[in-house]
Amino acid sequence: MRRTGADEPVRFDTLSTNYINAPRQGIMNFVLFCLRINFRHAGRRAARCSVYSGTKSTPLFLVSRDFHILDMPTKQINTRLRGHLKILAPAKINIGLRVIRKRSDRYHDIETVFYPINLSDELEIEKSSKLEFFSNINLEADANLCLRALHFFCERTGIHAEVKMNLFKRIPIGGGLGGGSSDAAAVLLSLQEIYGMPLSEIELFDIATQLGADVSFFLKKIPSYATGKGEVIEPISYRIGSYILTVTPDLSVSTALAYSIVTPTGKHEPRLDELVLDSGADYSGYRDVIINDFEGPVFEKFPTIGQIKSEMYSHGAEFSLMSGSGSSVYGFFRTEADAAKALDSLCNSFTLRAGNITPPHAS
C-alpha cells in the first residue's frame, strides 16, 4: 500500500487501500472504526479518511485525525443534472463457476450465477464539443472498454457522439469482479439516455455481447443465471441474506492465463441456479455443492488467494469462494460486526487492494 504525505487525502474509496461500509452504531463509531483501520494501515502521517454508511458508495464526509469534518461530498448515484449524467457501475461476484467445455471459437462455455455487490465505479458523462476521457487511474487505450462501448454505439446508431467522460475507478482491475464490463455497460446506458434511446433492447444486448461475455449482465444489474460464454443471461429471484465481505489481494489474475490452466469439467446436474435457490439461507450447505473450477489451478499458482479463503472460514464465514477467475475472494457472514472483524484481520495479514461489505438484500 502506498504511503501518503500529511497533505494528501487518505480515502477508503481508492484502489490503494480498502473500501468498506462501517458498522452503523452511531456517527462517532463510524469515525472510530474507519480511523482505526485506515490510519493504522496508511501510516502515521496519514491526514484524513473518508467515512461511509450502509450501502452508500460515496462518503458521508471526510474526517481528519483530530475528528474535524473536512468535506461533505454531494450525492452521486444515477443522477442527471444540467446535462450531466452520473451513474454507478457495480461490481459482481460469482456464486459458483463451472467451466464446461472449450469451444471451437477458443472461448469456453461456463455456468455461473452473477450477483451484484455495492462496490462501484462511478461514471460521469456529458455532451461536449469533442471526445474526452478522464480517469483516476491509467487505462491503456486498447483495454479501455468505455471507449470501445462508445465506438460500437456510434457505429450502430450513426450518431457522432462527442462526450466528456470521467470515470472514477474503485473496482480493482484483474480481481474477477467485472469492473471493466460494468463500466462499458454504464457507458451504453448513459449514451442511450443522453441520445434519446436510439437502440432497442435487443440491439443494446448485441453490442454488450460484442464488448465482453459479462457486459450484458451489467445492463440489468440483478442476480442472474448465466451460461454460454457468460452472455446468456436469465434473471433469477435470489437475494443473499448475509453480509458479503469481498476482498482483493495485491495481485491480479489474467483471465487468459486462468482459462489456459483450468480443466473443463463438463456439464453438471442440477443447474447452479437450482442449487442456490433450493438451498435457501443454508449458506454453510453451499460448501459441498457450490464450487469454482478456477480455484484449484489458480490457488496453486497464487497461494495467497487460497490463504485468504482459508482465513475467511477461520473468522466464521458461512461460505467463501473465489470470484470469477480471481483474485478476489468473498465470504458470507451472519453479522456486519463479524464481517468487519474478518476484514480487520485480513488487513493485518495481507496486502489488500480493496475490501467491501455488502449488506443483505442490497442488490
Q: 123: closest CA among 154, 61, 75, 78?
A: 78
- Kindly report the number of other CB atoms within 10 A of residue 177's CB atom: 27
Across 43-72, b (16+ Cβ under 10 Å) vs e yields eeebbbbbbbeeeebbbbbbbebeeeeeee
Asked if 71 is an active-site residue, the reply is no
Across 81-90, b (16+ Cβ under 10 Å) vs e yields eeeebbbbbb
- The CA distances from residue 360 to 55, 142, 286, 298, in Å, are 10, 37, 17, 29
- The CA distances from residue 155 to 123, 151, 159, 215, in Å, are 21, 6, 7, 18
- The active-site residue out of 92, 169, 221, 309 is 92
Asked if 92 is an active-site residue, the reply is yes
Between CA 147 and CA 162 the distance in angstroms is: 11
φ/ψ of 256, rounded to 5, equals: -60, -40
- The CA distances from residue 197 to 65, 188, 218, 256, in Å, are 47, 10, 17, 35
For residue 44, give every residue at least 6 positions away whose Cβ sits within 8 Å of its Cβ, in sequence order, or none. none
- The active-site residue out of 13, 121, 183, 214 is 214
Q: Looking at the annotation, which residues are catalytic?
A: 92, 214
